[in-house]
Structure 1
């Protein structure tokens, strides 16, 4: 029997809010008010348990299958070493898959993006939308004033915006004036608007490379451009 005090309660930054109706299709089992999932890691050396309550609380437990004792070093920030790093990576990979498949914001989860979306909701009252139901890797935020887009989310191959790498990256397109876009785009942090009018849109990577305060300011600017035009 696993004691309740052996579980690690996740914070909002470790995993996004999960949609309960998506959990069973991912592989969770439902028993009363609890959804449970387990997966073996590192060729069966560890077993990860994930528990989700109907109130949204999420907890994990990682067991060393040889000793049947909880393993916690992957949760210790300053714990170093190749083995701990391997365990931490395997653990996080499972959480990432759960977040992408069952998270409230689909593929666009993670503490950086969650903070960004909270800012938009708290400042403007707008929510992320998925207008293409068969493509959860593309989403938008519309102005509640005009229904115009002022942020477009996508998941693309890095080569699409001129970066190296083989794994898909999360990006966001923002609206700007022609003068602003011409000044901002540098091919390092700001890129020509992918799949948009490149004169008036630019792209940023949602990897934390741009400080949150700066990205919030860019969103403010994009929102302002979505406002109704003033009549003369």
Structure 2
């Protein structure tokens, strides 16, 4: 998936909105005012990434602690969440090495994890439309 496909997929989520609190080069995706993803272009000077992110769009996605580690072991293009809680967030480097279906699954999972932490009334308004 390229950055435009990812952006469309993220915005297709029920009640998903895009914000730019860190400037125009970092898109933050929220549901009911809770972040479930970020999308930005890797600059290559990020500490600890060994240049993996340079020139590639990257998405930060929430995930379970065990799944976060498993995904990092399976895919070299998944690293601990850059500027995030590294036990609950992964950075997915969109370098073409991860199948589209897997990226979509990780996005769905991040969205649902955030929705599951919302108050019941807000959850119901979203889950009724899934």
CA contact (8 A) 2:77 2:95 kept: no
Query: TM-score, normalised on structure 1?
Result: 0.44
Give how far 1:182 is off. 1.7
Count of residues in Structure 1 that have an aligned counterpart in Structure 2: 117
Task: Please show how residues 80-119 of structure 1 align to structure 2 within 5 Å.
Answer: 112-119=2-9
Alpha-carbon separation, structure 1, partners of 2:82 and 2:111: 19
Q: Which runs of 5+ in 2 are unaligned?
A: 121-130
2:40 maps to what in 1?
A: 154
Alpha-carbon separation, structure 1, partners of 2:68 and 2:53: 27
Task: Please show how residues 103-182 of structure 1 align to structure 2 within 5 Å.
Answer: 112-132=2-22, 135-143=23-31, 146-158=32-44, 160=46, 161-164=48-51, 167-182=54-69
Q: Is 1:222 aligned to 2:110, yes or no?
A: yes
1:183 maps to what in 2?
A: 70
Q: Which runs of 5+ in 1 are unaligned?
A: 1-110
Query: TM-score, normalised on structure 2?
Result: 0.74
Task: Please show how residues 3-152 of structure 1 align to structure 2 within 5 Å.
Answer: 112-132=2-22, 135-143=23-31, 146-152=32-38
Residues 147 and 168 from structure 1, CA distance in 2 versus in 1: closer, same or farther, beyond 3 angstroms?
A: same
2:94 maps to what in 1?
A: 206
Residues 166 and 181 from structure 1, CA distance in 2 versus in 1: closer, same or farther, beyond 3 angstroms?
A: closer
Alpha-carbon separation, structure 2, partners of 1:159 and 1:183: 26
CA contact (8 A) 1:176 1:222 kept: yes
Alpha-carbon separation, structure 2, partners of 1:224 and 1:166: 26
Residues 224 and 193 from structure 1, CA distance in 2 versus in 1: closer, same or farther, beyond 3 angstroms?
A: same
CA contact (8 A) 1:128 1:141 kept: yes
CA contact (8 A) 1:117 1:127 kept: no
Q: Secondary structure at the match of 2:97?
A: coil
Q: Secondary structure at the match of 1:174?
A: strand
CA contact (8 A) 1:139 1:153 kept: yes
